Amino acid sequence: MSILYKQSTYEDRIVSQSLNLADMFLTSSNAQYWAGKNNHHGVLTSFDWIPSSGSLTLLEANMTIEVASQHANNNWNSQFSQSIGLSPTSKKFDMDAMATYISESGHTSIIHVTRNVPGWQQQPHPNVLTKFNTILNNYGITSSSKYEVNYGQMIPDFDVPDTTFVLRYSYEIGSEIDETICTRDKFNSLVRSSGYSSYIQQLSGSWTTDFVKNEDGVPDVVVKKDYTFGGEGIQMFDVDSFTSNFLSSSYNYVEKYNKPDVNHLGDSVEVRGVVMMTPTKNIMVSQVPEYTGGDAWLNHNHLTSFTNEDGLTEYTYGNRKEYNNKFVTLVGEKVLSSSNEWIDIEDLTIGYVLVSYDTGSSEKGTTTISDIDLVQWGSDYLINNTLKFMSGSYVYNSSNGSSGWSFAQIQDVAVGSYILSSSLQSVQVSSSLARSTATANALGDRLGWVIDAEPSDHIFVEGTLVHDDK
Amino acid sequence: MNHNDLTEGSVIFFSQDYTNHRRDWDEFSEVYESILLKLKDKYSNKNIFYRLHPYIERQEYKQELNFHLDFAKKFNLETLPTSPLADILIKDNSDKISATYSIDSGVINTSLRYNIPSYHLYGVFVSNKIPHPYKKIIDPNMFGWEYAYGIIEPTSDSEKWEDNPLIKNNKLYLNITDSSQVGSIDDVSHKTEMPSVKWDDLKWDKT
């Protein structure tokens, strides 16, 4: 039985626990973390929490956090916000709090140190920077500039006046803060030595004999390696005497698995405690769960157990939800709205009206999003070197571009055949490259959304007519 | 072998996660192995470590991990574990590492920051007309991050790898085009100048 997440149960603790962890890095707590930086620097950090039957434990901490286009607005899905008791005026991302601190600490200009790696989502999303600069201007920070950090690139020193605040959104090589937060053992040691052991559920001592198991079909423990790449360093197991002995001797970090609370759709909830850290004060930026349909990667309802080669009962989260026959719109892609604008998928919510297409009458119409769900994608097909469609997705296809149109799975779309554009023109498929998770972009764009639209399932994504659910 | 056990003068070869995926490219494998052979020859009196890439601990990369372990065994190289991340490994052992070899621009940047002779391996592949192993793209200019994933073409004003302040005129950097260059900058004396940026250096077209 899963518990429905309620914001009132956790909000105060999300704030206090996130700030407690951030405060470990204040110069007054330990000067090493901001060494080489003056007080005119800041960095965005996220402490990710798992709410579970009233307890709130740390999943992980991250630098270079995702700040998506949706964070530039406060458009909440009403079903979601009402079900979890979230105020409609709750801020997804409190730019006013950030601007207040930056202004009150004597700054009139700002440099945004952003992450911009070709092929990956920019962090933060350009829409966020536009909105943030508007807000900053209201607080007297009237000049802004940007320094983009590419993959593996060093961040330079900024020789600027003390009235300029340098806010970093990107990982910094050589930073003690980044190295500590991104190295699980190092970070957990700091958490424990700072008196916050209760935030992490590490098993120690006699856990191999006194362990209390979860019900069948639900993992008992989580093994976390020193680092993670989007959860890649995490494995889940059932416990028996053999397993516990094996795990405790093989891994230096084993946690009890807590079933996350769920949202109104039954999907697990994870809450980011986003903090703007500075050498002298930490500012809470976000403490609310985001409506994404739920992040399924830790959701026991979508885990599958198997016996691994060591003879342990392990759970795979790689499959996540079964979306073999649904169209997945990937992060950064755009969908055609009824106002004839291409809208970022991240900005769509239930109730949004899209352009549809009637394959019988060959007429465009409208259709409304009835559900939208976040998933993680695996393999895909790169069409004409630009269009990415997840394996299994259906697109409108014709062998000659003039007749015989039908929805075909992307793996069956032949080079030389045609797909249909939003201007109802035939577009020839000149190339189709099958990519696995190993050869597709591994990190930046692995998230996607499944849309259910009614009454028509035919929508336009990235300029192409697709079927959302076939 | 633990990264804390590195000894002075250690040479580190940073392996890549996609190496085994490209085993079907004979030419790639030949070059990859030829570099290792040259390293063994050049540094016969030093500790050479084969550092495993973090990605290969992912479950779906089990085969990749086995490949790298077998590969290191074949060349009688000690492996360094996937953790800590490369930048932390280099920083924590900067006084013990005498040279790094990597195809990864991030590793090269970090290595240069700590004044370690840094051999970039893109050049070997390019000069042998072997496509970039990640995306199978052939481009003679593809030495750094600007084409990192081969999907987005750089624009005319994109910063070029060779103009990166850390790279430009840095005597500790060598883009290898021939395996005979292995070890050739080991004795160079140079201190990497960390770049500094002023407000007027920044450009941002917000329109």
CB contact under 8 A, B60 and A442: no
Phi–psi pair at B202, nearest 5 degrees: -85, 135
DSSP string, A192-227: HHTT-GGGS-B--TTHHHHPPPPPTTS--EEEE-S-
Number of Cβ pairs closer than 8 Å across A and B?
A: 129
In the predicted model, what is the mean pLDDT of residues A183-192? 89
Nearest CB to B166; choose among A146, A154, A183: A154
Q: Which residues pair with A274 in a beta bridge?
A: A46, A286
Please check whether residue A118 is in contact with residue A38, taking contact to mean a CB–CB distance below 8 angstroms.
no
Partner residue facing A318 (CB), from B59, B104, B196 = B59
Judged against a pLDDT cut of 90, whether residue A159 lies above it is answered with: yes
CB B174 within 8 A of CB B120: yes
CB contact under 8 A, B18 and A438: yes
Which of A275-279, A429-433, A455-459, B162-166 is the least confident region?
A: B162-166
Interface with A, mutate which of B18, B20, B24, B58 (most A CBs under 10 A): B58
Locate the chain B residue with the closest alpha carbon to A161: B199
> In this predicted structure, what is the pLDDT of residue A331?
73
Mutation target for B interface from A133, A146, A153, A310: give the one with most B CBs within 10 A: A153
State the best of B3, B22, B66, B88 to mutate against chain A, taking most chain A CBs within 10 Å: B88
pLDDT at B150: 45
- pLDDT over threshold 90, residue A54: yes
Contact A232 B91 (CB under 8 A): no
Nearest residue on chain A to B164, alpha-carbon basis: A153
User: Is B25 at the interface with chain A, CB within 8 A?
Assistant: no
- The more confidently predicted of residues A1 and B178 is B178
User: In chain B, which among 119-158 make CB contacts under 8 A with chain A?
Assistant: 134-135, 145-152, 154
* DSSP characters over A75-90: ---HHHHHHTT--TT-
Q: Residues of A numbered 327-356 whose beta carbons fall under 8 angstroms of chain B's beta carbons: which are they?
A: none
Closest approach of B23 to chain A, Cα-based (Å): 14
Q: For all residues of chain A together, what is the average pLDDT?
A: 86
- Give the C-alpha separation, A273 to A46, whole Å: 5
The CA-CA-CA angle for residues B144, B146, B152, to 5°, reads 140
Q: Which of A151, A174, A225 sits opposite B83 (nearest CB)?
A: A225
Contact flag A147-B202 (C-beta cutoff 8 Å): yes
> Rounded distance, CA A239 to CA A242, Å?
8
What are the distances in angstroms from CA B137 to CA A147, B133, B154, B175? 28, 8, 14, 18
Which pLDDT tens digit goes with each residue over A269-326? 889 999 999 999 999 999 999 765 444 556 666 677 888 878 888 887 654 444 556 7
A145 Cβ under 8 Å from any chain B Cβ: yes
Of A279, A275, A273, A274, whose CA–CA distance to A105 is shortest?
A279
Would you tell me how many other CB atoms lie within 10 Å of the CB of residue B149?
A: 21
Among partner residues B17, B148, B150, which is closest to A151 by beta-carbon distance? B148
pLDDT confidence band for A442 (50 / 70 / 90) = very low
Range with top average pLDDT, A19-23, A261-265, B145-149, B157-161: A19-23
Longest CA–CA separation in chain B, Å: 58
pTM of the full structure: 0.82
Question: Given the DSSP bridges, would you call strands A234-237 and A221-224 parallel, antiparallel or unpaired?
Answer: antiparallel
Confidence at residue A377, expressed as pLDDT on a 0 to 100 scale:
61
Which residue in A has a C-alpha nearest to residue B196's C-alpha? A157
Question: Which residues 207-236 of chain A have a CB within 8 Å of chain B?
Answer: 225-227, 229, 232-233, 235
Whether the upstream peptide bond of residue B131 has omega within 30° of 0, thus cis, is no
pLDDT digits (tens, 9 = 90+) for A393-407: 899 999 999 999 999
Does A109 reach chain B within 8 Å, measured CB to CB?
A: yes
Which of B109, B197, B203 is facing A153, going by the closest CB pair? B109
Distance to chain A for B44, nearest Cα, Å:
31
| CA distances in angstroms from A253 to A179, A225, A247, A363, listed in the order given | 18, 7, 9, 58
Give ipTM to 2 decimals.
Answer: 0.86
pLDDT at residue number A172: 93
Contact of B2 with chain A, judged by CB distance below 8 Å, is answered with no
CB A161 within 8 A of CB A106: no
Chain B residues in contact with A160 by the CB 8 A cut-off are: 198-199
Task: For residue A406, give the 3-state DSSP assignment.
Answer: strand
Residue in chain B lying closest to A315 (CA): B59
| Sheet strand arrangement including A221-224 | A254-256, A221-224, A234-237, A313-316, A304-307
Rounded Cα gap, residues A222 and A298, in angstroms: 10
Tokens of B90: 């280099």
Amino acid at B91: K
The CB density around residue B49, as the number of other CB atoms within 10 Å, is: 23
CA gap A324, A362 in Å, rounded = 27
pLDDT score recorded for residue A294: 44
What pLDDT, in 10s, does the model give residues A59-114?
A: 889 998 988 877 887 777 777 889 999 987 888 899 999 999 999 999 999 999 99
Tell whether the model's pLDDT for residue A354 goes beyond 70. Answer: yes
Of residues A357 and B46, more confidently modeled = A357
DSSP category for residue B91: H
Say whether pLDDT at A239 is over 60.
yes
Cβ distance B86 to A171 under 8 Å? no
Residue B196 is nearest to which of A157, A227, A439, comparing CB atoms? Answer: A157
Q: Using CB atoms within 10 A of its CB, is residue B159 exposed (0-12), middle (13-18) or buried (19+)? A: middle
> What is the pLDDT tens value at each position of chain B, 207 positions in all?
677 778 899 999 998 766 665 555 566 677 778 888 899 899 987 789 989 887 776 666 667 777 788 888 888 888 888 888 888 899 999 999 999 999 888 899 999 999 999 999 877 777 777 766 555 555 555 555 545 444 445 556 666 777 788 888 999 999 888 888 999 999 998 999 888 999 999 988 765
Pairing of strands A234-237, A164-168: unpaired
